[in-house]
């Protein structure tokens, strides 16, 4: 059997599927072809970086992140540049998001929640001590490794558009509204450290309660609730953790509990083990200098081939729950879902386009990727859906359908309509046929 060609390569990295995207960056699965190690490749557009005057800030934060080797923070291995892009090579974490545990199993007992909260505080404390603030701590940024340890991702990289002004404060309101500190919502500037701590408090509440402390479909009402810390602790919480949550979710950043005080808190200290790790490892920052000097001799080579990305066994397993490939193509999904097809890749693309247009979507195509945008605005703006076709075997393709922007419930509704139109495209096994 001929091994399918890799569609894209950046330097020594073979580039695969998109695993996340934000305003300024896209993240792709990649593999170091020299040692076979999987990585996450964060891709920034140089024009956007320059347009928003972010180059110096990104350079500073990338250099700092490269020096951070903490067991509860996703590692930054290296940074590369091409004529148009900046590539940040990050540790690939396989255990999924921490909050998937709540979605699948409900709220946590205090001992389990405490373990994750201790790891979160360890990571935040370490990065703050080196002048790096997250500014967008939220469920999507809390990952688990294969051993079940918490890894904070996007530390120092998530809020790339933020600027510290002459008064030493940050002035851009960012982040997911439900997790954002009250002072961030008021336009008077805020301290990155105390704002991060508030988000940690919201995360602790969600772990223990199974729902958000501040939630309202009306954004103005939501902001009012956050500004006066209008929330109610569920009755099953112990007195000591309620007391801690109250001290973290203090709307006044001047009187809010500090990390050093949290480390002395009776609830927090139970079974606490400080992280053990080696900081002394040598780190070279030459790659950071080269990328931001933008000298052509240091530009990384990019190669692209016109065919669907080949997906190998490791990637398939990394996308599956508990290494059971039977779960890979199931119908449970939140922000993304997948199906397999024995149709040729071109035919799959055409069929998706024909199905999406009557549903009111504009379609943009590039190779074996599509971006579908609903022309009508929904609850959270226009729904944007990204699709990509991957080659799993010579005669089998996998199609990923992912919400890029908009409301998750609207995405679910769209996918149901789309899947009805694609019944003849989706590959059905004998078991599927018998189940009908």
* pLDDT (tens digit per residue) in 49-63: 777 777 777 787 788
Least-confidence region, from 146-150, 161-165, 193-197, 429-433 = 161-165
What's the pLDDT at 217? 82
For residue 59, tell me if it sits in a domain.
Answer: yes
Residue 17 has pLDDT above 70, yes or no: yes
140 and 246 co-located in one domain:
yes
Which stretch of DSSP H or E encloses residue 369? strand 369-378
Question: Looking at the chain, how many residues does it have?
Answer: 436
Which stretch of DSSP H or E encloses residue 49? helix 46-51
pLDDT band at 122 (very low <50, low <70, confident <90, very high): very high
For residue 385, tell me if it sits in a domain.
Answer: yes
The last residue of a domain, from among 269, 292, 307? 269
135 and 230 co-located in one domain:
yes
- 271 compared with 134, residue with greater pLDDT: 271
What's the pLDDT at 314? 52
What's the pLDDT at 306? 55
- 368 compared with 91, residue with greater pLDDT: 91
Contact 27, 89 (CB under 8 A): no
What's the pLDDT at 20? 74
What's the pLDDT at 191? 75
Considering the candidates 125, 136, 154, 287, report the single residue annotated as catalytic.
136
Q: Report the CATH number at residue 26.
A: 3.30.200.20
pLDDT band at 419 (very low <50, low <70, confident <90, very high): confident
Residue 403 has pLDDT above 80, yes or no: yes
Residue 240 has pLDDT above 70, yes or no: yes
Q: Any alpha helices (H) in 174-312, and if so which ranges?
A: 182-185, 192-209, 219-227, 239-248, 259-262, 266-269, 286-293
For residue 321, tell me if it sits in a domain.
Answer: no
Residue 42 marked as a ligand binder: yes
Residue 3 has pLDDT above 50, yes or no: no
Section 405-425 average pLDDT: 80
Which residues does residue 369 pair with via DSSP β-bridges, in sequence order?
Answer: 366, 388
The structure tokens listed for 254 are: 């001047």
33 and 135 co-located in one domain:
no
pLDDT in tens, 168-226: 444 344 446 788 888 877 766 667 789 999 999 999 999 999 999 998 888 889 889 99
Give the pairing type, strands 336-341 and 396-405: antiparallel
The last residue of a domain, from among 92, 115, 149? 92
Contacts of 293 (CB under 8 A, 6+ apart): none
213 and 240 co-located in one domain:
yes
Cα dihedral 126, 128, 133, 137 sign = positive
The structure tokens listed for 158 are: 């998530």
Residue 142 has pLDDT above 80, yes or no: yes
Residue 256 has pLDDT above 90, yes or no: yes
109 and 249 co-located in one domain:
yes
Query: How many beta carbons lie within 10 A of that of residue 290, not counting itself?
Result: 17
Contact 176, 144 (CB under 8 A): no
149 and 217 co-located in one domain:
yes
116 and 233 co-located in one domain:
yes
Residue 432 has pLDDT above 60, yes or no: no
Q: What residues make up the domain containing 50?
A: 8-92
102 and 243 co-located in one domain:
yes
Residue 143 has pLDDT above 60, yes or no: yes
- Crossing angle of helices 286-293 and 55-67, in 10° steps, is 170
Section 409-431 average pLDDT: 75
For residue 303, tell me if it sits in a domain.
Answer: no
For residue 322, tell me if it sits in a domain.
Answer: no
Name the domain count of the chain: 3
Locate the DSSP E strands across 148-187.
150-152
24 and 102 co-located in one domain:
no
150 and 257 co-located in one domain:
yes
What's the pLDDT at 157? 65
Highest mean pLDDT among 62-71, 202-211, 342-351, 423-432: 202-211
What's the pLDDT at 329? 40
Among residues 5, 3, 2, the alpha carbon closest in space to that of 308 is found at: 5
Residue 158 has pLDDT above 60, yes or no: no
- Give yes or no: 136 in active site: yes
Q: Report the CATH number at residue 258.
A: 1.10.510.10
Percentages (nearest 5) of helix, strand, coil residues in the chain = 35, 25, 40
Backbone Cα Rg of the chain = 23
Among residues 28, 141, 10, the alpha carbon closest in space to that of 82 is found at: 10
240 and 355 co-located in one domain:
no
For residue 223, tell me if it sits in a domain.
Answer: yes
pLDDT in tens, 269-319: 999 988 887 766 667 777 787 777 766 666 777 666 555 666 655 555 555
The last residue of a domain, from among 36, 68, 92? 92
Q: Report the CATH number at residue 348.
A: 3.30.310.80
Residue 332 has pLDDT above 50, yes or no: no
- 401 compared with 54, residue with greater pLDDT: 401
* Percent of the chain whose predicted confidence (pLDDT) is above 90: 24
Average per-residue pLDDT for the chain = 79
For residue 288, tell me if it sits in a domain.
Answer: no
pLDDT band at 239 (very low <50, low <70, confident <90, very high): very high
Least-confidence region, from 17-26, 70-79, 207-216, 413-422 = 17-26
Cα dihedral 245, 246, 247, 253 sign = positive
For residue 309, tell me if it sits in a domain.
Answer: no
What's the pLDDT at 183? 84
What's the pLDDT at 10? 87
pLDDT in tens, 87-116: 989 999 888 888 888 878 889 999 999 999
pLDDT in tens, 76-90: 898 888 888 889 899
What's the pLDDT at 267? 97
256 and 333 co-located in one domain:
no
């Amino acid at each position: 059997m001929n091994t399918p060609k890799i569609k894209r390569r950046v330097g020594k990295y073979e580039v695969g599927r998109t695993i996340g995207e934000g305003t300024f960056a896209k993240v792709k699965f990649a593999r170091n072809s020299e040692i076979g190690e999987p990585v996450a490749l964060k891709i920034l557009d140089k024009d956007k970086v320059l347009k928003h005057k972010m180059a110096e800030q990104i350079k500073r934060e990338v250099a700092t992140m490269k020096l951070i080797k903490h067991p509860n923070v996703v590692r930054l291995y290296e940074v590369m540049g091409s004529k148009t892009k900046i590539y940040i090579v990050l540790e690939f974490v396989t255990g999924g998001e921490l909050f998937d545990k709540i979605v699948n199993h409900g709220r946590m007992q205090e001992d389990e929640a405490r373990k994750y909260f201790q790891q979160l505080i360890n990571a935040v404390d370490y990065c703050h001590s080196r002048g790096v603030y997250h500014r967008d701590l939220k469920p999507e940024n809390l990952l688990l490794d294969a051993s079940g340890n918490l890894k904070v991702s996007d530390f120092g990289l998530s809020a790339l558009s933020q600027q510290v002004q002459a008064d030493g404060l940050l002035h851009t309101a960012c982040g997911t509204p439900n997790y954002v500190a009250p002072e961030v919502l008021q336009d008077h500037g805020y301290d990155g450290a105390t704002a991060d701590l508030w988000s940690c408090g919201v995360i602790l509440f969600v772990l223990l309660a199974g729902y958000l402390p501040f939630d309202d479909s009306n954004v103005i009402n939501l902001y009012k609730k956050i500004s006066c810390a209008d929330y109610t602790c569920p009755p099953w919480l112990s007195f000591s953790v309620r007391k801690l949550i109250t001290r973290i979710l203090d709307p006044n950043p001047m009187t809010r509990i500090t990390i050093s005080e949290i480390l002395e808190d009776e609830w927090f200290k139970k079974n606490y083990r400080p992280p053990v790790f080696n900081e002394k490892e040598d780190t070279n920052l030459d790659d950071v200098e080269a990328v931001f000097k933008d000298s052509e001799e240091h530009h990384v080579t990019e190669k692209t081939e016109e065919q669907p990305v080949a997906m190998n066994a490791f990637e398939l397993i990394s996308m599956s729950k508990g290494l059971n490939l039977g779960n890979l193509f199931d119908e449970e999904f939140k922000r993304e879902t997948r199906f397999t097809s024995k149709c040729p890749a071109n035919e799959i693309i055409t069929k998706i386009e024909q199905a999406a247009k009557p549903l009111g979507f504009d379609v943009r195509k590039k190779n074996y990727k599509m971006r579908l945008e609903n022309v009508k605005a929904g609850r959270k703006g226009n729904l944007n859906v990204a699709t990509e076709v991957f080659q799993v075997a010579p005669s089998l393709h996998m199609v990923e359908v992912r919400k890029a922007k908009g409301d998750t419930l609207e995405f679910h509704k769209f996918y149901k309509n789309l899947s009805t139109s694609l019944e003849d495209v989706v590959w059905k096994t004998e078991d599927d046929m018998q189940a009908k």
